[in-house]
Structure 1
Amino acid sequence: MTTAATLVRTPTAVQPVTFGRLVAAEWVKFRSLRSSWWALALAVAFFPMFAAMRSSSIAQIADEAPAGAFVGPVYVTSGLMLAQLVLCGLGVVVVTAEYRTGQIRSTLVAAPTRLPVLWAKLLVVVAVALATGLVGAVTGWVAAAPWFEAAGMSVDLSQPEHVRLMLGVPLYLAAMAALAYGIGAVLRSSAAGIATVLGLVFVVEPAFSYIPWQPLQSLAAYLPSAAGARLVTADAMGSVMSGSQSTMLGPWAGYAVLLGWVAAVLVVAAVLLRRRDA
């Protein structure tokens, strides 16, 4: 016979919502979607595919070029641009998808101060982009290696420039994904966020650099992708310079400019998150 005593249940302790638990929750959200893994697999696949194609092409004309004309890491990381497209789109969707489904309300109820949610999502996006860029650079290296001897090039990690070019790939991708994430957090729309990121990188920046008006050409060197790309540009390929040819951005200075853009967008996203309704 069931007694009243047996019906008494031990109360379950409620765990406080900490930043670590928010990060863990965001990681669960991310890895639970098959689309996330397909996107990451596609981003990584671009590296070996383009590395092999470009390296094999270079091997066919290497005899006609002077020694040392080809910088190995440049060809190893040939898939960077397309990987950037995928990761930027992913960075936008990580935050905008919750606004589309309304799940953001539950998330903000669990963390009413709101800003820790923004930073937790950002940490997941940056970590994923870093890991993807690192894996992509390594797989590109492996895929291009069979043509190194014929092409007269190599990846020599004893050379600072080669180290910068290889490690610059995950750093650049992480910063661009963070920028896209911030734009998505500001706009709260997947379509608008992706269109804004792609428009900035592939329409606005090239237009500024090609329009024959010095102020726009000067500004072009300081736009996010153009400035950040200095980190993954070989010294032999030149520097990003203003239209007047008087201002030069070094690799790390250009990357610092990109990080400045990321910080500015995230500040706007944080202010709007605190002031607007979900």
Structure 2
Amino acid sequence: MSVLNAERIKLTSTKSPMWCSLAAVVVSVGLAAVMGAAHRSALSSGRDSMEKFTAASTELGALQLGSMLVMIMAALAVTTEYRFGVIRTTFQAIPSRPRVIAGKALLLALLAGALGVVIALTSYFVAQATAGVTLDLGGDGNARALFGVPIYFALLAVLAVGVGTLIRQSAGAISLLLLWPLVIEGFATMIPKVGKYIGEFGPFKNMWHFLGHAGAFDFRWGPWGSLLYFAAFVAIVFGAALFAVNKRDA
């Protein structure tokens, strides 16, 4: 509890978590409103919408933009301490380094999860209002797409803490976290022959599969299997961070 309390004080005394959280809400809900308006416009003009409007459609802003800001927020919580040498003082006060990193990850996961609940529900209702439709949570995996966002955000926070602990530099950690889903699992999926397997076994693609955005890939398991796959990927990265923090100088 002392570790969590110390991390809470650090988190609430800096401005970056507040601004990242606020920006995540604005861009996620804003894109949800745009998606709803586009769907209404397509229907009113007599054209079919590009894809069926579901709860997954309302959460696209959270998945594409909000998730990036969550990773930035969590990574900065670690790399900023390394940059200014504050982490050394923390390790002197609490010699168990894995406990410090685990406490930081737990607190950020709780914050990211709560932020995910706010964003998911707000996006869901705003998108429906602008689209002029009412979605049924009982069908088309809508409940999973909606309530999976907080789970996704919490796992992203743990992943970002792990990457930040391993790399220790803000620019490097943030670049890797953002480029992985955008480039490695984005553009690389267009490579002939290889791209198919990058999409099927990419951790972020699997998480999107769980959230209702399977794309054109034939995944080897169902949505819940994809969630476990992504969670295992996060656990491996975070486990490596806990191992490395004990082996390297602060």
Do the structures match in fold with TM over 0.5? yes
Distance 1:140 1:93, change over 3 A: same
Distance 1:205 1:66, change over 3 A: closer
User: Which protein is bigger by CA-based radius of gyration?
Assistant: 1
1:74 paired with 2:69, answer: no
1:53 paired with 2:34, answer: yes
- Give distance in 1, aligned partners of 2:175 and 2:124: 32
Pick from 63, 78, 85 the counterpart of residue 102 of structure 1: 85
Report how far residue 75 of structure 1 moved: 2.9
- For the 8 Å contact 1:99–1:189, the answer to whether it is kept is yes
Question: What's the counterpart of residue 201 of structure 1?
Answer: 181
Report how far residue 57 of structure 1 moved: 1.3
- Give distance in 1, aligned partners of 2:236 and 2:59: 28
Counterpart amino acid of 1:77? E
1:39 paired with 2:20, answer: yes
Pick from 231, 235, 242 the counterpart of residue 210 of structure 2: 231
Report how far residue 202 of structure 1 moved: 1.0
Question: What's the counterpart of residue 105 of structure 2?
Answer: 122
Question: What's the counterpart of residue 229 of structure 2?
Answer: 257
Report how far residue 142 of structure 1 moved: 2.8
Report how far residue 259 of structure 1 moved: 0.8
- Give distance in 2, aligned partners of 1:118 and 1:177: 12
- Give distance in 1, aligned partners of 2:163 and 2:246: 16
1:155-213 CA distance string (max 9 Å, x none): 32333711101001111122122212211110111111011111211111124311102
- Give distance in 2, aligned partners of 1:210 and 1:177: 28
Report how far residue 82 of structure 1 moved: 0.6
Aligned-residue Cα RMSD (Å) equals 2.0
Pick from 143, 165, 170 the counterpart of residue 145 of structure 2: 165
Pick from 217, 221, 237 the counterpart of residue 240 of structure 1: 217
1:59-115 CA distance string (max 9 Å, x none): 121254679x63331232131211011111111111111100101011111110211
Q: Once structures 1 and 2 are overlaid, which stretch shifts more, 55-64 or 83-92?
A: 55-64
- Give distance in 2, aligned partners of 1:221 and 1:129: 26
Flag structure 1 segments of 5+ consecutive residues without an equivalent. 1-19, 242-246
Counterpart amino acid of 2:166? V
- For the 8 Å contact 2:79–2:168, the answer to whether it is kept is yes
Question: What's the counterpart of residue 241 of structure 2?
Answer: 269
Counterpart amino acid of 1:190? S
1:143 paired with 2:123, answer: no
Flag structure 2 segments of 5+ consecutive residues without an equivalent. none
- For the 8 Å contact 1:227–1:240, the answer to whether it is kept is no
SS of 2:141's equivalent?
helix
- Give distance in 2, aligned partners of 1:155 and 1:103: 48
Distance 1:157 1:207, change over 3 A: closer
The two structures have a TM-score, normalised by structure 1, of 0.82
- For the 8 Å contact 1:72–1:154, the answer to whether it is kept is no
Counterpart amino acid of 2:205? A
- Give distance in 1, aligned partners of 2:124 and 2:70: 20
Counterpart amino acid of 2:201? Y
The two structures have a TM-score, normalised by structure 2, of 0.91
